[in-house]
Amino acid sequence: MKELPDYFVQVPEAFALVEEGVYRCSGVLSGEQIKYLDTLSLKTVLILSVEGPSRAFSQYLKSKGIRRIHLGMTRWQSNLGWKPVSEELIKDALECLLNKANHPLLIVCSSGVRETGTLVGCLRKLQHWNFNSIVYEVKWQRT
Protein backbone atom coordinates (compact mmCIF):
# COMPACT_ATOMS: atom_id res chain seq x y z
CA MET A 1 0.00 0.00 0.00
CA LYS A 2 1.33 3.45 -0.90
CA GLU A 3 2.27 5.51 2.16
CA LEU A 4 0.26 8.68 2.67
CA PRO A 5 1.65 11.82 4.30
CA ASP A 6 0.53 12.33 7.92
CA TYR A 7 -1.66 15.29 6.98
CA PHE A 8 -3.90 12.86 5.02
CA VAL A 9 -4.74 10.77 8.09
CA GLN A 10 -8.46 10.67 9.03
CA VAL A 11 -10.27 9.10 11.96
CA PRO A 12 -12.51 6.24 10.70
CA GLU A 13 -16.29 6.65 10.63
CA ALA A 14 -18.03 5.65 13.89
CA PHE A 15 -14.64 5.33 15.63
CA ALA A 16 -14.66 5.16 19.41
CA LEU A 17 -12.71 3.77 22.33
CA VAL A 18 -14.74 0.99 23.96
CA GLU A 19 -12.27 0.44 26.78
CA GLU A 20 -8.50 0.29 27.12
CA GLY A 21 -7.17 -1.76 24.21
CA VAL A 22 -10.58 -2.14 22.51
CA TYR A 23 -11.78 0.13 19.69
CA ARG A 24 -14.71 0.16 17.28
CA CYS A 25 -15.43 1.69 13.87
CA SER A 26 -17.04 1.19 10.49
CA GLY A 27 -15.43 -1.55 8.42
CA VAL A 28 -15.61 0.61 5.30
CA LEU A 29 -12.27 2.40 5.45
CA SER A 30 -10.55 4.77 3.04
CA GLY A 31 -6.77 4.85 2.65
CA GLU A 32 -6.58 7.90 4.92
CA GLN A 33 -8.59 6.11 7.60
CA ILE A 34 -6.54 2.92 7.32
CA LYS A 35 -3.41 4.97 8.03
CA TYR A 36 -5.01 6.14 11.30
CA LEU A 37 -5.05 2.53 12.49
CA ASP A 38 -1.24 2.63 12.75
CA THR A 39 -1.65 4.77 15.87
CA LEU A 40 -3.52 1.93 17.63
CA SER A 41 -0.82 -0.79 17.37
CA LEU A 42 -3.55 -3.36 16.72
CA LYS A 43 -3.07 -7.07 17.29
CA THR A 44 -6.54 -8.25 16.17
CA VAL A 45 -9.43 -7.04 14.01
CA LEU A 46 -12.80 -8.63 14.74
CA ILE A 47 -15.13 -8.41 11.71
CA LEU A 48 -18.81 -8.86 12.61
CA SER A 49 -20.52 -8.18 9.28
CA VAL A 50 -21.03 -10.76 6.53
CA GLU A 51 -19.18 -8.55 4.05
CA GLY A 52 -15.45 -8.98 3.90
CA PRO A 53 -13.01 -6.11 4.28
CA SER A 54 -11.87 -4.12 1.26
CA ARG A 55 -8.78 -5.24 -0.62
CA ALA A 56 -6.83 -2.26 0.76
CA PHE A 57 -7.87 -3.06 4.35
CA SER A 58 -7.03 -6.77 3.88
CA GLN A 59 -3.61 -5.87 2.48
CA TYR A 60 -3.02 -3.50 5.38
CA LEU A 61 -3.87 -6.20 7.95
CA LYS A 62 -1.60 -8.70 6.22
CA SER A 63 1.30 -6.24 5.88
CA LYS A 64 1.13 -5.31 9.58
CA GLY A 65 0.70 -8.90 10.79
CA ILE A 66 -2.68 -8.09 12.35
CA ARG A 67 -4.85 -11.13 13.04
CA ARG A 68 -8.21 -11.03 11.24
CA ILE A 69 -11.18 -12.86 12.79
CA HIS A 70 -14.19 -12.77 10.46
CA LEU A 71 -17.04 -14.06 12.64
CA GLY A 72 -19.70 -12.38 10.51
CA MET A 73 -19.07 -14.80 7.68
CA THR A 74 -18.90 -17.95 9.81
CA ARG A 75 -21.80 -17.12 12.16
CA TRP A 76 -24.25 -15.48 9.73
CA GLN A 77 -27.86 -16.70 9.80
CA SER A 78 -30.48 -15.64 7.26
CA ASN A 79 -33.69 -15.75 9.31
CA LEU A 80 -33.30 -14.20 12.74
CA GLY A 81 -36.75 -12.63 12.98
CA TRP A 82 -36.58 -9.58 15.25
CA LYS A 83 -32.96 -10.15 16.33
CA PRO A 84 -30.36 -7.84 14.76
CA VAL A 85 -27.62 -10.52 15.01
CA SER A 86 -27.35 -14.16 16.02
CA GLU A 87 -26.68 -15.24 19.58
CA GLU A 88 -23.79 -17.38 18.33
CA LEU A 89 -22.12 -14.37 16.75
CA ILE A 90 -22.38 -12.36 19.97
CA LYS A 91 -21.21 -15.26 22.15
CA ASP A 92 -18.16 -15.97 19.99
CA ALA A 93 -17.37 -12.27 19.61
CA LEU A 94 -17.56 -11.73 23.38
CA GLU A 95 -15.17 -14.64 23.94
CA CYS A 96 -12.72 -13.06 21.50
CA LEU A 97 -13.21 -9.58 22.97
CA LEU A 98 -12.73 -10.71 26.58
CA ASN A 99 -9.50 -12.56 25.74
CA LYS A 100 -6.77 -10.01 26.58
CA ALA A 101 -4.35 -11.92 24.34
CA ASN A 102 -6.26 -10.40 21.38
CA HIS A 103 -5.76 -6.79 22.56
CA PRO A 104 -5.35 -4.17 21.19
CA LEU A 105 -8.44 -5.14 19.23
CA LEU A 106 -10.62 -3.31 16.71
CA ILE A 107 -14.28 -4.31 16.26
CA VAL A 108 -15.75 -3.52 12.84
CA CYS A 109 -18.97 -4.11 10.92
CA SER A 110 -20.17 -2.54 7.69
CA SER A 111 -21.78 0.46 9.42
CA GLY A 112 -19.85 0.42 12.68
CA VAL A 113 -23.20 0.50 14.50
CA ARG A 114 -25.50 -2.50 14.04
CA GLU A 115 -23.50 -5.63 14.92
CA THR A 116 -20.81 -3.65 16.71
CA GLY A 117 -23.37 -1.75 18.79
CA THR A 118 -25.10 -4.97 19.80
CA LEU A 119 -21.79 -6.52 20.85
CA VAL A 120 -20.70 -3.48 22.85
CA GLY A 121 -24.15 -3.33 24.49
CA CYS A 122 -23.76 -6.96 25.60
CA LEU A 123 -20.26 -6.20 26.91
CA ARG A 124 -21.67 -3.29 28.91
CA LYS A 125 -24.31 -5.60 30.41
CA LEU A 126 -21.53 -7.97 31.50
CA GLN A 127 -19.81 -4.95 33.06
CA HIS A 128 -23.00 -4.30 35.08
CA TRP A 129 -23.92 -1.05 33.35
CA ASN A 130 -27.54 -0.06 33.86
CA PHE A 131 -29.84 -0.42 30.87
CA ASN A 132 -30.35 3.34 30.36
CA SER A 133 -26.60 3.89 30.11
CA ILE A 134 -26.29 1.11 27.54
CA VAL A 135 -29.11 2.54 25.43
CA TYR A 136 -27.60 6.04 25.69
CA GLU A 137 -24.22 4.78 24.44
CA VAL A 138 -25.83 2.94 21.51
CA LYS A 139 -27.86 6.04 20.55
CA TRP A 140 -24.78 8.26 20.90
CA GLN A 141 -22.80 5.99 18.57
CA ARG A 142 -25.51 6.21 15.90
CA THR A 143 -25.30 10.01 15.68
Q: What CATH number has the domain bearing residue 119?
A: 3.90.190.10
Query: 16 lies in a domain?
Result: yes
Query: 85 lies in a domain?
Result: yes
Query: 59 lies in a domain?
Result: yes
Question: Residues near 78 by Cβ (< 8 Å), separated by ≥ 6?
Answer: none
List 106's β-bridge partners, or say none: 23, 45
Per the annotation, the verdict on 96 as an active-site residue is no
Q: In terms of DSSP H, where are the helices of the chain?
A: 31-36, 55-64, 71-74, 87-98, 114-126, 131-142
Query: 126 lies in a domain?
Result: yes
pLDDT digit string, tens, across residues 35-72: 999 999 999 999 998 888 889 999 999 999 999 999 98
Find the catalytic residue in 25, 96, 109, 122.
109
Query: 1 lies in a domain?
Result: no
Query: 95 lies in a domain?
Result: yes
Query: 83 lies in a domain?
Result: yes
pLDDT digit string, tens, across residues 7-33: 678 999 889 999 999 999 998 898 889
Query: 125 lies in a domain?
Result: yes
Nearest-5° Cα angle at 62, 50 to 21? 75
The amino acid occupying position 33 is Q
Reported as a pLDDT band with limits 50, 70 and 90, residue 81 is: low
Q: Range of 116's domain?
A: 6-142
- When divided into structural domains, the chain yields a total of 1
